[in-house]
Amino acid sequence: MSTRVQTQGRLINRDRPVSFKFNGTLLNGYLGDTLASALLANDQMLMGRSFKYHRPRGVVASGSEEPNALVGLGEGDRFEPNQRATTTELFHGLTATSQNHWPSLNYDVGIVNNTLSRFLSAGFYYKMFIHPRPFWKHIYEPFIRHSAGLGKAPDSESRDADRYEHFYAFTDVLVIGGGVAGLQSALTAARAGAKVLLLEQTAHLGGRAPVDGGTIDGMDPDAWVAKACEELDALPNAQIRTRTMGAGVYDHGYVLGYERLTDHAPEASGPRHRLWRIRAAQIITATGAIERPLSFAGNDIPGVMLASAMRDYLVNFGVSPGDRTVVVTNNDDAYRTAIALVQAGLKVPAILDARPNGGGALMDDAKALGIRVETGAAAVKVKGAKRVHSVCRGVQAGDGEVLEEIFCDAVAMSGGWSPVVHLWSHCGGKLFWDEGQAAFRPDHARAPTSHDGAPFVITAGSADGEMHLNAVLQNAANAGKTAASAVGAAKGDAAAPSGDAPDEAPLVPVWMMPQGAPRKLRTKSWLDYQNDVKVSDVQLAAQEGFESVEHAKRYTTLGMATDQGKLSNINGLATLSHALNEDIPQVGTTTFRPPYTPISFGAIAGEARGEIFQPIRKTPMHDWHDSNGAHWEPVGHWRRPYAYPQPGETVEDAVQREVLATRNSLGLLDASTLGKIIVKGPDAGRFLDMLYTNMMSTLKPGRCRYGLMCTENGFLSDDGVVARIDEDTFLCHTTTGGAESVHAHMEEWLQTEWWDWKVWTVNATEQYAQIAVVGPNARKLLEKLGGMDVSQDALTFMGWADGALAGLSVRVHRISFSGELSFEIAVAANLGRALWDKLVEAGQQWNITPYGTEALHILRAEKGFIMIGDETDGTVIPQDLGLDWAISKKKTDYIGKRAQQRSHMVDPKRWKLVGLETLDGSTLKDGAHAIADASNENGQRNTQGRVTSTYRSPTLNKGIAMGLVLNGPDRMGEVIELTAGGDDTVKAKIVNPVFFDPEGAKQNV
Amino acid sequence: MLCLECPYCGVAAEETDLHPGGEAHLKRFGPESSDDDFTGYLFHRENPKGVHFERWRHVNGCGKWFHAARCTNTLEVFGTYSAQTTEPPKDLLDTIRAKRPGFTWRDIA
């Protein structure tokens, strides 16, 4: 059984017991435990079920590479699935639940998949679920969706109760990893005078060295680490952050760090996670190495663990994973585990060393302790179900014959070490295959390069492929020195401490154990624990032609689980290359992508949530709208009233009321959000002639003109009224959503094409409030306020005038987007509310009715006015909309003119704008299509047009619509059929798009 | 995330402060141009693995457009320069020729 031993446990505090819950059972651990170590101490070896076969799984690693021990953490709004027990620090009251089983962890019905596993081989889904076709939608997909996914998604109604933040940092040298290599690199760089930031993903500095032993400058590694930290703490130019992972390395020295502030102490105040957004001139990745499993049958049975993990649990947490542990290895390092176990009073019945000649000094040490060592040996298979029962010993060079069954309750395995090259690779660092170490190592000649073309990532210590303590320290000091001199820091002591540890004999690569394992064993030899990929699956993929590593990965799902193949990738690659009869470097690796381990969505979002997700733009009249029942509509970042439903009134009813009140008497619209761009300078007229399809340079001061703006592709992009203020000055109105983009469009052409033209532009949208006073009584209201002459003679249609109304300085534009007598009044933003209040008060005698955006839309549609974004969608040119009258024939050029001459643009078969009137008076559905005869080659009904705007018109008391129809303008009176999907069709007549007052009598008064 | 120095305000601008503007030094063809010329201007773009000349705007900053010469492969930035020019400055081209002997881009070599 796994249990707490009475000695060791350098990271736990035995004076601070902590209680926690696992699957509802109250258990005890110590402060300093991880959830995994505390579970092991309670003999809870079984921690989860595998994804595909629901096999019982125990913890296999001790760090962030753990594939099996994934749990659901927390409850309610704080519930999170797929959290690694190995990186979860224990705290009082922690609640964890195991995943992927029903009805319980111990008894899981899904284990039936395990029995069926020979039918569930690689590519099973592709092969099985393709025929018969109709089964996909109704049977296969629902079934797969039901069984897919590890863990349970949080309740969609729950809201994250915690706070998160972003933090910006700039440093000369960023060191990622706080093991002895990272500390030495940081020391060397900081002593030289560089500004240094060191990130360590765990709560502890020192990494593996204190567990692995040896001495540094004659000191115990723990003592050396304490001294190094002390020195770094004292240096003003060095900073250390623990519980902060280097998540990703990006272009030009940009790095994301992920700090977990309160995961271990949920009662603490402050943000839970912090996303560090770091710019570093030089990055040292001292991220260590990860031990590889060995591929023997039954290597996933609970109790089989990485040798280093077992040592970690014993030394760091005082936990023994078993009473009798067999060690299986191809290298010297695993001997440390055997020695540590025996020294703690536990039994090691045998070390099975696959190397024919065994190991070096560490083997001698083990033998001296009386441990039996079998060389050239293999674990043919591990027996057991929910717990290891025994190991069958055979010969590594053989084909699986069992020579002996060794009874034990744990197995420590080691297949060698892979440097953690993820961060080196994120931004393009390349690797080379080191035959001797059987590992990919960073290729210094092909480092990621920064803005100056020079390398900006340096690997240090075992991340660089150095495995001996002394070599690690020398390498790390060199990395620190290189980084410091790259940032111009060169003073101080660059000497490295000396590390003393036993020399190790070389490993012998073992990719399958035993070497000639028959199929029966290979189908139980796991490569990827989390996604249930076995040696036989990768071999099958190769056999079926998935020769590229990227294809084989996706076909088998090797390395695609939440651990992203940290344990499985190299073993999988080696298996694939053997199956393909190629060398490992030729097969290559899959792409390393950030983040290194999953980071929370909360950290990514930071402060941007709820009310401050994005800024809301409010007009000066916002509060009035809010207190008068506005039903809000987001328009870009603005909020605009959609309508003002009164008590007892639906939104739809309010819209209809607002339209009628405006047509019959007086309406009021807050038009402040319309873009207002001032274009000024001697060449302003010439510039606007290029920007708009119409001629703007001939506009007289005091007059307004409606203009269309196109992109160089010819497509209509924005529209609005341009007022000429004086000879050199124009005021260009844009759509609400277009203000910023139109201004940017102007600046782009001015700065990059016509930079010698004397024109200046200013986006003055927020400097003015704008109010449209609309309806037959509009003039009477303005006259009642008094202050300026707004008579028909003084202020003619499409004219503007500066003056005063009710004592406020205003500019009145006589323009109309409704077909009614209409004045758009601009006033300084700070006076917008005052003017609005005066208009509302004075307008009472005409039942003045504020209206929202939907009434605005209906009013314009009744008049056949187009709306950017309804009638246009980026594929429509002005000619499609019958706007030829607004396109100058005299101008030799404007933006979009040449494109509008292209063959497709002058094709007579382009759909054109018409009005549509249903025969039964009903309102067409948004997005309805006009159907044509016959079907296309995909069996879909042909179409001959589509609806772009559709409303119920209260003025005409029927449905009205605009749409683009093939040869539409030539088919007036013809009836076509439309559908919005399904079999229902509606008949509509093609009519003039101007439904109301086609003579314009109402606005010319 | 790239970092480019704005030649107008001198700020080392993060990519999130910038707006990309595609290939630099396009010659505009207007209404009198041939179909081929216009299609080339509107649609055909270089896609080099190596030296490239691009337009960027310091949009969340001084608002100015500028040009950047950089390597799309190694992310090396050779320099940034004014938007008000139809070709890269000679000293910049000399720098690039020294660092990337034999490079070509459109009709520049």
Q: What is the pLDDT of residues A178-219, one digit of tens each?
A: 999 999 999 999 999 999 999 999 999 999 999 999 999 999
List beta partners, residue A439.
A434
Cα dihedral A425, A428, A434, A435 in deg (nearest 10) = 100
* Per-residue exposure over A286-304, b if at least 16 CB sit within 10 Å of its own CB, e if not: bbbbbbbbbbbbbbbbbbb
Residue A778 has pLDDT above 70, yes or no: yes
Asked whether residue A367 is assigned to any structural domain, the reply reads yes
Which one of B1, B9, B11 would you mutate to disrupt binding with A, by most A Cβ within 10 Å of its Cβ? B1
Report if residue A679 sits inside a domain: yes
The Cα-based distances of A232 to A172, A210, A494 in angstroms read 15, 19, 15
> Does some domain include residue B8?
yes
Q: Please, are residues A372 and A349 in contact by the beta-carbon 8 Å criterion?
A: yes
Can you give the pLDDT at residue A276?
A: 98
Rounded to an integer, the average pLDDT of A558-585 is: 92
Domain annotation covers residue B92 = yes
Domain that holds residue B93: 3-99
Task: Please state, in angstroms and rounded to a whole number, the distance separating the CA atoms of residues A944 and A932.
Answer: 6
Q: What is the pLDDT of residue A143?
A: 67
Amino acid at A364: D
Helix (H) or strand (E) holding A627: helix A622-627
Query: Which CATH number does the domain housing residue A331 bear?
Result: 3.50.50.60
Q: Which residue from A251, A744, A899 is facing B42, i.e. has the nearest CB?
A: A899
User: Are β-strands A457-459 and A273-285 bridged in parallel, bridged antiparallel, or unpaired?
Assistant: parallel
Q: For residue A961, what pLDDT is reported?
A: 98
Q: Are residues A662 and A785 in the same domain?
A: yes
Residue A782 within a domain: yes
| Residues of chain B with C-beta less than 8 angstroms from the C-beta of A892 | 30-32
Nearest to A452 among B32, B76, B84 (CB): B76
Average pLDDT over residues A115-119: 70
> For residue A511, which of A563, A584, A592, A440 has the smallest C-alpha distance?
A584
Within a domain: residue A786?
Answer: yes
Q: How many domains does chain A have?
A: 7
Chain B residues near residue A748 by CB distance under 8 angstroms: 21, 57, 65
ipTM (interface predicted TM): 0.98
Q: Is the pLDDT of residue B22 over 80?
A: yes
Q: Which two three-digit tokens encode residue A343?
A: 């020294």
Q: What is the pLDDT of residue A144?
A: 66
Partner residue facing B75 (CB), from A251, A744, A892: A251
What's the CA gap between A718 and A733, in Å, rounded? Answer: 10
pLDDT mean over A470-498: 93
Residue B104 lies in a domain: no
Contacts of A802 (CB under 8 A, 6+ apart): A809, A810, A811, A812
Continuous segment of H or E residues that includes residue A367:
helix A361-368
Q: Is A629 contained in some domain? A: yes
The residues of A whose Cβ lies within 8 A of any Cβ of B are: 250-254, 279, 428, 449-453, 712-713, 744, 747-748, 751-753, 755, 892-893, 897-899, 901-902
Residue A536 structural domain: 510-582
Contact list, A451 vs chain B (CB under 8 Å)? 2-3, 75-77
DSSP sequence for A663-708: HHT-EEEE-TTSEEEEEESTTHHHHHHHHBSS--TTPPTTBEEEEE
| A171/A283 same-domain check | yes
Query: Which residues on adjacent β-strands are paired with residue A962?
Result: A915, A949
Summarised one tens digit per residue, pLDDT across range A935-985 is: 999 888 999 999 999 999 999 999 999 999 999 999 999 999 999 887 889
DSSP state letter for A845? G
Looking at every residue in chain B, the average pLDDT score rounds to: 96
Q: How far is A472 from chain B (nearest CA, A)?
A: 29
Residue A818 in tokens: 């409704």
Clarify whether residues A638 and A777 are in a common domain.
Answer: yes
Round to whole Å and give the CA distance between B27 and A119. Answer: 62
DSSP code at position A496: P
**Model pLDDT for residues A779-794, shown as the tens digit of each residue:** 999 999 999 999 999 9
* Residue A189 shares a structural domain with residue A280: yes
3-class secondary structure for A125-175? HHHHCCCCHHHHHHHHHHHHHHHCCCCCCCCCCCCCCCCEEEEEEEEEEEE
Using DSSP's 3-state secondary structure scheme, residue A17 falls into strand
- Report the residue of B76, B81, B82, B96 to disrupt the A interface, i.e. the one with the largest count of A CBs within 10 Å: B76
Q: How confident is the model at residue A132 (pLDDT cuts 50, 70, 90)?
A: confident
| Residue A382 pLDDT exceeds 90 | yes
Among A481-495, A845-859, B6-20, whose mean pLDDT is lowest?
A: A481-495
The pLDDT value given to residue A115 = 74
- Alpha carbon of residue A46 to chain centroid: 33
Q: Are residues A32 and A82 in the same domain?
A: yes
Q: CA-to-CA distance for A281 and A484, rounded, in angstroms? A: 10
Does residue B106 lie within any of the structural domains?
no
pLDDT at A145 over 70: no
| Mean pLDDT for the stretch of residues A248-273 | 96
Predicted local distance difference test score (pLDDT) of residue A856: 98
Mean pLDDT of B25-37: 96
Domain presence at residue A950: yes
CA A354 – CA A945 distance, rounded (Å)? 74
> For A574-599, what is the mean pLDDT?
93
pLDDT value of residue A114: 76
- A81 vs A71: CA distance, rounded Å: 6
Please compute the mean of the pLDDT values over residues A282-300 and round it to a whole number: 98
Average pLDDT, integer, range A149-164: 85
Residues of A169-200 as b/e, b for ≥16 C-beta within 10 angstroms? eebbbbbbbbbbbbbbbbbbbbbbbbbbbbbb
Q: Which helix (H) or strand (E) element contains residue A307?
A: helix A307-317
- A408 has pLDDT over 80: yes
- Å from B79 to nearest chain A CA? 9
CATH number of the domain within which B76 lies: 3.30.2270.10
Tokens 């001198």, located at residue: B10
Which element (helix H / strand E) includes A334?
helix A333-343
Q: Is the domain of A496 the same as that of A558?
A: no
Does residue A633 share a domain with residue A554? Answer: no
pLDDT digits (tens, 9 = 90+) for B34-66: 999 999 999 999 999 999 999 999 999 999 999
CATH number at residue A744: 3.30.70.1400
pLDDT in tens, A610-648: 888 888 999 999 999 999 999 999 999 999 999 999 999
In this prediction, residue A106 has a pLDDT band, given cuts at 50, 70 and 90, of: confident
User: For a pLDDT cut of 90, what percent of chain A falls above it?
Assistant: 88
User: Which residue stretches of A848-962 are H helix?
Assistant: 853-862
Q: Which residue does chain B place closest to A902, by CA atoms?
A: B35
Weakest mean pLDDT among A274-288, A294-308, A487-501, A563-577: A487-501
3-class state of residue A918 by DSSP: strand
Element (H, E) at A388: strand A388-395
What's the structural domain count of chain B?
1
A1003 within 8 A of A817, measured Cβ to Cβ: no
The three-state secondary structure class of A941 is strand
Q: Taking the CA atoms of chain A, what radius of gyration do you get in angstroms?
A: 37
pLDDT tens across A706-733, in order? 999 999 999 999 999 999 999 999 999 9
Beta strands in A490-649 (DSSP E): 499-500, 526-528, 533-534, 631-635, 638-643
- pLDDT surpasses 90 at A134: no
A515 lies in some domain: yes
Q: Which percentage of chain B shows pLDDT scores above 70?
A: 100
The CATH number covering residue A995 comes to 2.40.30.110
d(CA A912, CA B98): 56
Q: State both tokens at A478.
A: 């060199």
Best to test chain B binding among A254, A278, A430, A751 (most B CBs inside 10 Å): A751
Task: Identify from B55, B65, B86 which residue to disrupt to test chain A contact, counting A C-beta atoms within 10 A and taking the largest count.
Answer: B65
Q: Report the pLDDT averaged over residues A124-142.
A: 71
Q: Are residues A215 and A236 in the same domain?
A: yes
Do A272 and A305 reside in the same domain of the chain? no
Inter-chain contact B31–A901, Cβ cutoff 8 Å? yes
Confidence of residue A57 (pLDDT cuts 50, 70, 90): very high
Summarize pLDDT for A516-556 with one digit per residue, the tens. 999 999 999 999 999 899 999 999 999 999 988 999 999 99
Residue B105 within a domain: no
**Tokens coding B54:** 């691009």
Nearest-Cα distance to chain B for A755, in Å, is: 6
Asked if A988 contacts A976 with a C-beta cutoff of 8 angstroms, the reply is yes
* Boundary of a domain, candidates A465, A500, A535: A500
What does chain B look like in DSSP terms, one character per residue? --EEE-TTT--EEEGGG-EEEEES-PPP--TTS-HHHHHHHHT-----SSEEEEEEE-TTTT--EEEEEEETTT--EEEEEESS-SS--HHHHHHHHHHSTT--BTTB-
Q: In terms of domains, do A780 and A757 share one?
A: no
- Residue A852: CATH number of its domain: 3.30.1360.120
Is residue A831 situated within a structural domain? no
Q: For the residues of A348-362, what is the DSSP string, one character each?
A: ---EEE-STT--SHH
Residues A59 and A18 in one domain: yes
Mutual orientation of helices A535-543 and A569-580 as an angle, nearest 10°?
Answer: 40
* Burial grade of A332 (CB within 10 A; 0-12, 13-18, 19 or more): buried
What per-residue confidence (pLDDT) applies to A327?
Answer: 98
Residues A101 and A200 in one domain: no
CB A849 within 8 Å of CB A666 = yes
DSSP type of residue A924:
P
